[in-house]
Amino acid sequence: MYSHQELGVNCLNAFTRAVPASLAAFYRIDDGLSAVDFQLHGDPTQMHDSYLRRYRHLDPLQPGYCQRLGRQVVPLRDAQALQSRRHNEGYQTFLSQHDVVDVTEVLFYTRDRPVMGMSLLRKSRYGRFTPRELDTLQSLQEMLQLAVSASAVEPAPAQIQDARVPLTEREAQLVPLLRQGLSNKAMARALGIAPSTIKTHLDNLYRKFEVTNRTELVGRLYP
């Protein structure tokens, strides 16, 4: 079974080879239908940071909206029909700042609920996605749906020394990133949350495991 990261790398490579995209992001969808655990392709870091800080609430391609359409491949123009003109104009302004002319979302489902997704973004160099390219994305989605469904499980808790210490879902997501030595900002970007929220989760983990810093925490989590 693929890990989430391995699956993301394979999906990003396969989809962007078949249908050119300037930027792309693969992500997991949590129980609240929010995109988390982003893997980025094409170096969209600056745009992604701006998206998380200021524009995410304007995005018509959020998983909840896409689920309402009941489709696996959702072009931006179709999703825009689900929200107000004001929100669409605000989001379009954000895209224009980064020369993005079109976006298509690809969703993967388990038991009729989206569990993973991918954003494909086109800059003016490539133009908008054509109907033929959307058909290609649909075919790829169908081919990879089985692998995604098999891998769409909740992250396993870390192998901690004291199994009596429970981790919340978000803490369990944070633990492997800590082991990689990522900064608060990098972890926030990966999980799609604010750096201040990362600090709160870290403080909670320090209290749970009675440690005072990251080194001690990782030593407790991975003895």
Domain end position, chosen among 90, 121, 151: 151
H or E segment and range at residue 61 = none
Is the C-alpha dihedral spanning 148, 150, 152, 155 positive or negative?
Answer: negative
Range of the domain at 194: 169-221
Residues 103 and 203 in one domain: no
Q: Which of 5-14, 34-43, 174-183 has the lowest mean pLDDT?
A: 174-183
Instruction: Give the β-pairing of 113-123 and 100-110.
Output: antiparallel
Residues 75 and 182 in one domain: no
Residues 66 and 129 in one domain: yes
Residues 80 and 139 in one domain: yes
Q: What digits encode the pLDDT tens for the residues 166-222?
A: 888 888 888 877 876 777 887 887 787 888 899 999 999 999 888 998 888 888 877
CA distance linking residue 23 with residue 51, whole number of Å: 13
Residues 146 and 178 in one domain: no
CATH of the domain at 173: 1.10.10.10
Counting residues of the chain whose pLDDT is more than 70, the rounded percentage is 89
- Residue 149 has a pLDDT of 59
For 40, half-sphere exposure in the C-beta direction (CA atoms, 13 angstrom radius) is 15
- pLDDT interval class at 37 (50, 70, 90): confident
CATH of the domain at 8: 3.30.450.40
User: What integer best gives the mean pLDDT of the chain?
Assistant: 86
Q: Tell me, yes or no, whether 18 lies in a domain.
A: yes
Please tell me the pTM assigned to this model.
0.68
Q: Tell me, yes or no, whether 71 lies in a domain.
A: yes
Residues 38 and 145 in one domain: yes
Residues 84 and 17 in one domain: yes
149 or 217, which is more confident: 217
- Residue 163 has a pLDDT of 53
> How many helices (DSSP H) and strands (DSSP E) are in the chain?
10, 5
CA-based nearest residue to 8, from 21, 25, 22: 25
149 or 9, which is more confident: 9
Beta carbons of 86 and 57 less than 8 angstroms apart? no
Residues 129 and 199 in one domain: no
Q: Tell me, yes or no, whether 156 lies in a domain.
A: no
Residues 116 and 18 in one domain: yes
Task: Provide the number of structural domains found in the chain.
Answer: 2
Residues 140 and 173 in one domain: no
Give how far Cα 202 sits from Cα of 90, 158, 163, 184, 194, Å. 34, 15, 18, 9, 13
Gyration radius of the chain's alpha carbons: 18
Residues 127 and 176 in one domain: no
How large is the average pLDDT for residues 151-178?
66
CA distance linking residue 78 with residue 8, whole number of Å: 25
Residues 147 and 214 in one domain: no
Domain end position, chosen among 107, 122, 151: 151
Q: Tell me, yes or no, whether 160 lies in a domain.
A: no
Q: Which residues contact 40 (CB under 8 A, 6 or more apart)?
A: 23, 24, 25, 48
- Residue 155 has a pLDDT of 45
